[in-house]
Amino acid sequence: MNVMNSASSTLNEETLQPVPTNSGQQRRYGDFPTFPAALDYAAQGNAGFNIYSGKGVLLEALPYKKLREQAIETGLRLLGMGLQPGDRVAIVAESDGDFARIFFGCQYAGLVSAPLPLPVAFAGKEAYLATLRGMITSAGASAVIIPQIIEGWTNDIVSGLGLVFAGSPGELMARPVPEMALPEIKPEALSYLQFSSGSTRFPMGVCVSQKSGMANVAAIAHDGLQVRETDDRCVSWLPLYHDMGLVGFFLTPMTCQLTVDMLPTREFARRPHVWLDLISRNRGTLAYSPSFGYELCARRPAAEGLDLSSWRVAGIGGDMIRPHILEIFAERFASAGFDKRAFEASYGMAEATLAISFAPLNTGIQTDTVDLSVLESQGLAVAPKSANAPSRTFVLCGKVLPHHGLEVRDAEGNVLPDRTVGTIFVRGPSLMDGYFRQPEETIKAIDTQKWLNTGDLGYMLNGQIVVTGRAKDLIIINGRNIWPQDLEWSAENELPTLRSRDVAVFSLEKGEQEEIVALIQCRATTPETREELRSEAASLFRRLHGVEVSVVLVPPHALPQTSSGKLTRAKARTMFLSGVFEPQPEVEPA
């Protein structure tokens, strides 16, 4: 047990009261030069973080006032080890008070935080350790903080890395607080490194300065979420090593003096309704999730007496938005007071700190259904030619944030008109400074006019951006641009035994041709049932999409996911090519 939590954990549960919703101070919307300055102001009020267990039991109430005191002490401890401003401190990020103390301790000390992921469920230990060591090396970290849950892996994680410090939060907090001054933190200083989680190689660290980070959280609070003066409250299970959790529900709330009820990410999938229960009993108003989180909630029995009427922004992000899942969730929880107009589509990425665009609030999900054959052959998003024509429904993700720019361009760099698919470019004060110690990759991503190539494809519609997919995932067959999501969603929707994230589709080069492969997680064990699923899937792809697909059945939980729960096709493709999934015999054409 760590030193900071030992006192609070001995309290009787009845005496431990959560930090209240109302901060009791005038709301400010991220108009600070740095994160330490923002915490200095938040510490004058009553808001803060409430840390809950996966069962919804309050473990720690951490007002911003107390957090500031403990963060300053933690920062001084880090400097007392000999670390210098600008040095990187890697933090394997559990959703708890220790992470908050260490992250903000780094901010006060001028150290650069580098939040790193906990192991993803069902992932192998060796692959996780290799990825983590790669991130630590890429960051050039001088210290690594490892939470108690994987404390036994410390030697495997840090061996041979020559660190100044490697240990648990408890070991860090047990060190004395030296008598020394904190450095002055300037807006241009690097605040933290955000590692993407979906790359098959070691991910690159996105450099977020104090200035760019504050620009994004201010826009999120003031323009995107339009945080209200007194009664807004956040509830989150999102991982703090992912940009949506770190920026959206850790940094943004603090910079506008909001209270956050925080659940451990690693337990969400087992007890998704604890998230809804916290929203209900604490009158939460702001909560986000990728589509699969809403799906998990809709599949489980609801608790009695659930009241979701306070939930005014039910955000969706982190992956392509699936409208049918949201419809099911809204229908399921309408009797609990959930208003489907609370659904809020948005678009963002770590290279822009987090948010790029928000849909209008209180309008629900707005969709655009287009003719799939025209989209694939001509790159145009137009209405279906007939009721029976193959179609695809996309979600409108809103207008770009104020003081930012967004364009959809063709391969020659020309800005495209509405309903013409191209590459999405953005610019503005929230953009990263670059990839850490990767100048060549930075030049590839950001041009001389400071426009970021997002790597996403989409089209504009009445001032709103519609994202159609990742450019690197696009499959080109006989002049058709085929999105793997279309095939994945068709299988998951049409085949009753499949669930969301059960299918990964990608292409392989076979001479001058491309072969489409679909990896499908199969829970059946009998040969007859497995063969039936494979045959049905191949027939479905042929019938709905007019393409031949090699269907390979893989075990449950075998498909790789990112730290935010998003399917990663690139890694699935690499695993397939390396022989991780043994192909089954080909099904004869029907």
Indicate if the pLDDT at residue 118 is higher than 80: yes
Rounded to whole angstroms, how far apart are CA atoms 245 and 252?
A: 10
- pLDDT band, very low/low/confident/very high, at 500 (cuts 50, 70, 90): confident
Report how far Cα 240 is from the mean position of its chain's Cα atoms: 9
Q: What is the pLDDT of residue 200?
A: 41
Domain boundary residue, one of 442, 458, 473: 473
Proportion of the chain in helix, strand, coil states, percent, rounded to 5: 35, 25, 40
Indicate if the pLDDT at residue 92 is higher than 50: yes
Q: For residues 54 and 141, state if they share a domain.
A: yes
Q: For residues 463 and 526, state if they share a domain.
A: no
Q: What is the pLDDT of residue 288?
A: 97
586 domain residue, yes or no: no
pTM: 0.88
Q: What is the pLDDT of residue 541?
A: 92
Percentage of the chain with pLDDT > 90? 78
511 domain residue, yes or no: yes
Tally of CB atoms within 10 A around 103: 27
Domain boundary residue, one of 473, 495, 523: 473
Domain boundary residue, one of 473, 508, 526: 473
Owner of token pair 């108003």: 285
263 domain residue, yes or no: yes
Owner of token pair 């003081």: 403
pLDDT single digits (tens) 185-237: 999 999 999 997 544 456 799 999 999 999 999 999 999 999 999 999 999 99
Q: For residues 357 and 390, state if they share a domain.
A: yes
Q: For residues 252 and 292, state if they share a domain.
A: no
Q: For residues 209 and 132, state if they share a domain.
A: yes
CATH of the domain at 483: 3.30.300.30
Indicate if the pLDDT at residue 453 is higher than 70: yes
Q: What is the pLDDT of residue 464?
A: 98
278 domain residue, yes or no: no
Residue 373, beta-bridge partner list: none
Q: What is the pLDDT of residue 24?
A: 97
Q: For residues 505 and 462, state if they share a domain.
A: no
Q: What is the pLDDT of residue 303?
A: 72
Q: For residues 478 and 427, state if they share a domain.
A: no
Percentage of the chain with pLDDT > 70? 94
Stretch 464-491: mean pLDDT, rounded? 90
Q: What is the pLDDT of residue 197?
A: 52
Nearest CA among 275, 250, 246 for reference residue 263: 275
Let me know: does 192 contact 212? Beta carbons within 8 Å: no
Structural domain for 507, as ranges: 474-577
Q: For residues 502 and 553, state if they share a domain.
A: yes
**What is the number of structural domains in the chain?**
3
Q: For residues 562 and 463, state if they share a domain.
A: no
Indicate if the pLDDT at residue 11 is higher than 50: no
- Window from 53-57, 84-88, 296-300, 407-411 with minimum mean pLDDT: 296-300
DSSP class of residue 250 equals I
Question: Of all helices (H) and strands (E), which one includes residue 442?
Answer: helix 439-445
74 domain residue, yes or no: yes
Nearest CA among 187, 243, 194, 246 for reference residue 215: 187
DSSP class of residue 79 equals H
- pLDDT band, very low/low/confident/very high, at 48 (cuts 50, 70, 90): very high
Contact partners, residue 194, CB within 8 Å, separation at least 6:
115, 205, 206, 208, 243, 246, 350
Q: For residues 339 and 259, state if they share a domain.
A: no
pLDDT single digits (tens) 146-158: 999 999 999 999 9
Interior angle at CA 231, CA 225 and CA 233, nearest 5: 60
Indicate if the pLDDT at residue 10 is higher than 90: no
Q: For residues 400 and 303, state if they share a domain.
A: yes
Q: 3-state class of 136 per DSSP?
A: helix
Rounded to whole angstroms, how far apart are CA atoms 167 and 98?
A: 13
Q: 3-state class of 138 per DSSP?
A: helix
pLDDT single digits (tens) 263-287: 999 899 889 999 999 999 999 999 9
Exposure of 578 by Cβ count < 10 A (0-12 exposed, 13-18 middle, 19+ buried)? exposed
194 domain residue, yes or no: yes
Q: 3-state class of 133 per DSSP?
A: helix
Rounded to whole angstroms, how far apart are CA atoms 163 and 136?
A: 10
CATH of the domain at 290: 3.40.50.12780
Q: What is the pLDDT of residue 202?
A: 61
Contact partners, residue 117, CB within 8 Å, separation at least 6:
92, 93, 131, 132, 195, 197, 239, 241, 242, 563
Choice between 3 and 378, residue whose per-residue pLDDT is larger: 378
Q: For residues 368 and 333, state if they share a domain.
A: yes
Contact partners, residue 503, CB within 8 Å, separation at least 6:
487, 488, 491, 492, 518, 519, 520, 521
Nearest CA among 222, 248, 199, 227 for reference residue 352: 248
441 domain residue, yes or no: yes
Q: What is the pLDDT of residue 582?
A: 66
36 domain residue, yes or no: yes
Stretch 126-153: mean pLDDT, rounded? 93
- Window from 219-223, 389-393, 423-427 with minimum mean pLDDT: 389-393
Stretch 528-542: mean pLDDT, rounded? 94
Rounded to whole angstroms, how far apart are CA atoms 51 and 340?
A: 28
Rounded to whole angstroms, how far apart are CA atoms 130 and 504?
A: 23
Exposure of 291 by Cβ count < 10 A (0-12 exposed, 13-18 middle, 19+ buried)? buried
Stretch 332-343: mean pLDDT, rounded? 97
Question: Across all residues in the chain, what is the average pLDDT?
Answer: 91
